Amino acid sequence: MLESTGAPLVDTPAGVSAAGWSARGGRQRAWVRRAVLALIMVVQALLSVRLHNTAFMDEALYISAGHMELAHLFHGAPVNAWYTSTFSGSPSLYPVLAGAMDHLYGLTGARALSLFFMLACTGFLYSLTRRLFSERAGLFAAVLFVASQSTIVLGWFATYDSAALFLLAFATWIVVCTDRANPFAVLFAAPILVLAFCTKYAAGLFIPTVVVLAVLVAWPHRGARALWRGVLLSAALGAIGGTVLYGSSILAGIQFTTTSRAHGTNATSALINVSVEWIGPALALACFGALSYVWRGRVGEVAAAAQKTTGTEPGRIWRTILCLLLCGTGLLAPAYQIHLSTSVSLHKHVGFGLFFFAPLAGLGLSRIVGPYLHRTTTGPYLHRTMTGPYLHRTTTGPRSRPTAVGLLIIRTALGLLIIVLAVSSGMAQSQWRYATWPDSTKLVNVLRPHVNSEGRYLADIAQVPTYYFQNVTKVNQWTGTYHLAYTDTKGVKHTGAGAYTAAIDDGRYNLVVLQKPGVSKFDPAIAKALPSSGRYRLYAELPFTTTFGDGSYQIWTRTSD
């Protein structure tokens, strides 16, 4: 029977020193975990690129804006002023990147840029989780992050979100990995956080978490001096952010889309239900990991450094604050959108919070699976090599080989079941999400012979044809159905539904495209005015199917054409 000695029992080959054997094992484990992380990223890429649909209206809008910004930069062409005041991020940042990738490689290139950002987020998540907790927790955190609907969709979706999350992840990684460096090293995160905020204003919701985390990770081995990291980072954020935003026109966009955003009509219960559906299981694992960590602790790199410096591991109070910070951050996006009573972009924003509580979720899954298949140099477990995986006996008493093998099988099976369920759920949810807008291939093909550089067009989803016909038409040739001010041929000014009715009666548009079910509150008035005006005829009706059911595009042409 083995006795507890406080050191691992590992069979060492003859002629090889214990130190050399340990170093070789360390290198082997490093290569193994790199291979596993690479495999996780390959799976992540496959889960994202399997999604297929034509451009969503937000993708079309931002890419088109990017083309205009590029034309302005290189040729002095005018840009739409309302982009700055209505976009949820600066039109001079992400849209320019997306526009450049679209110019080179089309929509696939713009979406591939998002995939790069999300793959980098997975790498940052693994690295900082490994530093906070352990290698296994880092790999499990990466798996749970990759399996989520938000990560899968954002990895193949050309909007601001992936770029903003990448920058937040980069800044978070910096503050965690510089915990033992000179306090001024934390300043490297400041411009990145400001850039994240300017890329997407909603990212500002998570900046306080990064500042507090900068203090927390340094506290175990610096004590109260760690507060300087928070002071320095906050001062740098204020200075850089104030300089960038002072007198900037994007302040109107921040107010319109974020700080003073109009409230919606979604019920609180409905928002809670969808939030639970999208992040509930991962958050439950994070809560389990948090409770386990607060109660038992764990020696990660941060804690190990503290133990080396002070002789003790971080206390329970420190662990509690860290867990509350990470789990609480995961609830910020749902709480904010419940306050606004809107589900718009909630499926994307919960992914931001997931990045912060995924380390605890990975730790929770690691604790469920148990300490098997894992060799340690410290801690209460004793290991010895056998013909299969490492089995252990604890310091509290021996455990028989059959019992250990049975427990290994049960806990490993439970861990695999959780992973399979997470991946299956993420695949189903992302597929559902990616089919919430209609495929516009038939619409574009039917419209193509009828659009030119001289016509005027009214469309429910004006952003989509604007994008697909960017080489044929200009942005100002397309009018949406959400707001219009129109002066008729008699000089009378109209707004709202009356503006659309007057414009149709005057035969202003060469083509009108309506979507059924309607997407605008003015659609009923437009649909009524088209046949009654005598100026238009129904040219084609193109059916489509989305996750919400069947619908169709109606294409009306002016009879005089």
pLDDT at residue 387, as a whole number: 39
- Residue 184 to residue 17: CA distance in whole angstroms: 42
Q: Which range, 323-332, 368-377, 480-489, has the best average confidence (pLDDT)?
A: 323-332
Boundary-marking domain end, from 412, 434, 456: 434
Q: Which of 60-74, 261-275, 484-498 has the lowest mean pLDDT?
A: 261-275
The answer to whether residue 425 sits within a structural domain is yes
Mean pLDDT over residues 6-35, rounded? 61
Answer whether 359's CB lies under 8 Å from 137's CB.
yes
Assess whether 191 and 244 both reside in one domain.
Answer: yes
Mean pLDDT over residues 222-232, rounded? 93
Q: Is the pLDDT of residue 398 over 70?
A: no
Q: CA distances (Å), 156 to each of 117, 153, 440, in order?
A: 10, 6, 18
Q: When comparing pLDDT for 434 and 259, which is higher?
A: 434
Q: What is the 3-state secondary structure (H, E, C) of 326-385?
A: HHHHHCHHHHHHHHHCCCCCHHHHHHHHHHHHHHHHHHHHHHHHCCCCCCCCCCCEEEEC
Assess whether 86 and 225 both reside in one domain.
Answer: yes
The CA-to-CA distance between both ends of the chain, in Å, stands at 95
- Residue 95 to residue 199: CA distance in whole angstroms: 9
The answer to whether residue 13 sits within a structural domain is no
What are the pLDDT digits (tens) for 111-157?
999 999 999 999 999 999 999 998 999 999 999 999 999 999 999 99
Residue written as tokens 């080179």?
104
Question: Which pLDDT band holds residue 524 (cuts at 50, 70, 90)?
Answer: very high
Question: Token digits for 152?
Answer: 């899968």
pLDDT at residue 301, as a whole number: 61
130: exposed, middle or buried (Cβ count in 10 Å: 0-12, 13-18, 19+) = buried
Q: CA distances (Å), 330 to each of 124, 139, 514, in order?
A: 17, 19, 39
Q: Is the pLDDT of residue 9 over 80?
A: no
Assess whether 469 and 405 both reside in one domain.
Answer: no
Assess whether 352 and 488 both reside in one domain.
Answer: no
Q: When comparing pLDDT for 454 and 85, which is higher?
A: 454
Boundary-marking domain end, from 397, 412, 434: 434
DSSP 257: I
Q: Is the pLDDT of residue 217 over 50?
A: yes
β-strand partners of 511 = 457, 557
The answer to whether residue 17 sits within a structural domain is no
Where on the phi/psi map is residue 463: left (φ > 0), alpha (ψ -120 to 50), or beta?
A: alpha
- Residue 401 to residue 269: CA distance in whole angstroms: 50
Q: When comparing pLDDT for 51 and 407, which is higher?
A: 51
The answer to whether residue 10 sits within a structural domain is no
The answer to whether residue 12 sits within a structural domain is no
Q: Tally the domains of the chain.
A: 2
pLDDT averaged over the chain? 87
Question: Token digits for 348?
Answer: 């994307």
β-strand partners of 495 = 485
Assess whether 378 and 451 both reside in one domain.
Answer: no
Answer whether 184's CB lies under 8 Å from 230's CB.
no
Question: Which pLDDT band holds residue 257 (cuts at 50, 70, 90)?
Answer: confident
Q: When comparing pLDDT for 78 and 199, which is higher?
A: 199
Assess whether 528 and 421 both reside in one domain.
Answer: no
Q: Report the percent of the chain where pLDDT is more than 90.
A: 68
What are the pLDDT digits (tens) for 94-108?
999 999 999 999 999
- Strands 511-516 and 485-487 come out as unpaired
What are the pLDDT digits (tens) for 528-543?
999 999 999 999 999 9
Q: What angle do CA 108, 113, 118 make, to 5 degrees?
A: 120
What are the pLDDT digits (tens) for 163-181?
999 999 999 999 999 999 9
By 3-state DSSP, what share of the chain in percent is helix, strand and coil, each rounded to 5? 65, 10, 25
Q: Kindly report the pTM of this predicted structure.
A: 0.88
What are the pLDDT digits (tens) for 356-380?
999 999 999 999 987 654 443 333 3
pLDDT at residue 8, as a whole number: 40
pLDDT at residue 300, as a whole number: 63
Q: Which of 65-79, 244-258, 260-274, 478-492 has the lowest mean pLDDT?
A: 244-258
- Residue 131 to residue 302: CA distance in whole angstroms: 6
pLDDT at residue 15, as a whole number: 52
- Residue 463 to residue 546: CA distance in whole angstroms: 19
DSSP string, 286-337: HHHHHHHHHHH----HHHHHHHHHHSS---HHHHHHHHHHHHHHHTHHHHHH
pLDDT at residue 411, as a whole number: 85
Q: In what order do the strands lie in the sheet with 457-459?
A: 478-479, 457-459, 511-516, 549-558, 536-546
Assess whether 421 and 489 both reside in one domain.
Answer: no
**Which domain does 73 fall in, by range?**
25-434
Q: Please report, as a single letter, which amino acid is at residue 437.
A: W
Q: When comparing pLDDT for 270 and 78, which is higher?
A: 270
- Cis amide bond preceding 314, omega within 30: no
Q: Is the pLDDT of residue 391 over 60?
A: no
> Quick one: angle between helices 227-245 and 189-199, nearest 10?
40
Q: Please report, as a single letter, which amino acid is at residue 391.
A: L
Question: Token digits for 554?
Answer: 């109606």
pLDDT at residue 431, as a whole number: 96
Residue written as tokens 């662990």?
319
Assess whether 425 and 446 both reside in one domain.
Answer: no
Please choose, from the candidates 499, 497, 450, 498, the residue with its C-alpha nearest in 3D space to the C-alpha of residue 477.
450
Assess whether 314 and 187 both reside in one domain.
Answer: yes
Mean pLDDT over residues 252-269, rounded? 78
Assess whether 74 and 135 both reside in one domain.
Answer: yes
Mean pLDDT over residues 451-457, rounded? 95
Where on the phi/psi map is residue 267: left (φ > 0), alpha (ψ -120 to 50), or beta?
A: beta
CATH number at residue 545: 3.40.190
- Residue 148 to residue 118: CA distance in whole angstroms: 12
Boundary-marking domain end, from 409, 434, 459: 434
β-strand partners of 516 = 552
> Quick one: angle between helices 135-146 and 346-369, nearest 10?
140
233: exposed, middle or buried (Cβ count in 10 Å: 0-12, 13-18, 19+) = buried
Q: Which range, 203-217, 291-305, 358-372, has the best average confidence (pLDDT)?
A: 203-217
Assess whether 428 and 550 both reside in one domain.
Answer: no
The answer to whether residue 160 sits within a structural domain is yes
Assess whether 48 and 146 both reside in one domain.
Answer: yes
